[in-house]
Amino acid sequence: MAGRKARADAPEPHISIDIAVEAGDWPAKRRLRSLVEKAVAAAIAEAGTSSRQPCELSIVFSDDAHIKVLNAGWRGKDKPTNVLSFPAFPVKPGDPLPPMLGDIVLAAETVARESELEGKPLEHHITHLVIHGLLHLLGHDHEEETQAERMESLERATLARLAIPDPYA
């Protein structure tokens, strides 16, 4: 599925990205920044999101212990997960970007384990999870089948922009 283009009259959104490496065994921060910036730009372009104002995004690279606490407190699931998203404002797909998107938190051990089990490069998996988390902040979800299909389609198209193979194939 081809991605939507941002409206011709809408400027490219300026997103200020704060990256924190809090815990865990991650690639160098410089490399993470490059992965995140490319993933965010591709996802914003694919989702056709626009904004007339700058906005902020926070990405936290953490570990399983921290994400387990977050997952238990916010979702009632007492186990680690690969990525969590915390929107700063409620957004629906296609809405203009708010001044603050929110936070995306990734867990090192889970991400590394999944990458190894699925036989994909760690950097590809990190990129996919950043895109997945960002799509949640943009109002996408996968609770219902049609929502899941739309979100997966956006993930696939965004990853294809970055020459990363389909993670669902």
Do the domain assignments include residue 98? yes
Do the domain assignments include residue 43? yes
Inform me whether the pLDDT recorded for 68 exceeds 90: yes
Do the domain assignments include residue 120? yes
Q: How many domains does the chain have?
A: 1
Residue-wise pLDDT tens digits, 39-64:
999 999 998 887 778 899 999 999 99
> For position 12, what pLDDT does the model report?
58
Do the domain assignments include residue 122? yes
Instruction: Read off the CATH number of the domain in which 102 is found.
Output: 3.40.390.30
Mean pLDDT confidence for 91-106: 92
Do the domain assignments include residue 168? no
> Where are the extended beta strands (E) located within the chain?
15-21, 55-62, 83-87, 100-107
> For position 142, what pLDDT does the model report?
81
Buried residues in 26-44 as b, exposed as e (16+ CB within 10 A): beeeeebeebbebbbbbbb
And the tokens for 158?
Answer: 């965004």
* Backbone phi, psi, residue 62, to 5°: -125, -155
Alpha-carbon span 70 to 80, nearest angstrom: 9
pTM: 0.90
For a pLDDT cut of 70, what percent of the chain falls above it? 92
Alpha-carbon span 160 to 162, nearest angstrom: 5
Do the domain assignments include residue 10? no
Q: Which residue has the higher pLDDT, 10 or 63?
A: 63
And the tokens for 10?
Answer: 């809408």
Q: Which domain holds residue 136?
A: 15-161
Contact 132, 155 (CB under 8 A): yes
Inform me whether the pLDDT recorded for 3 exceeds 70: no
Do the domain assignments include residue 116? yes
Do the domain assignments include residue 103? yes
Inform me whether the pLDDT recorded for 149 exceeds 80: yes
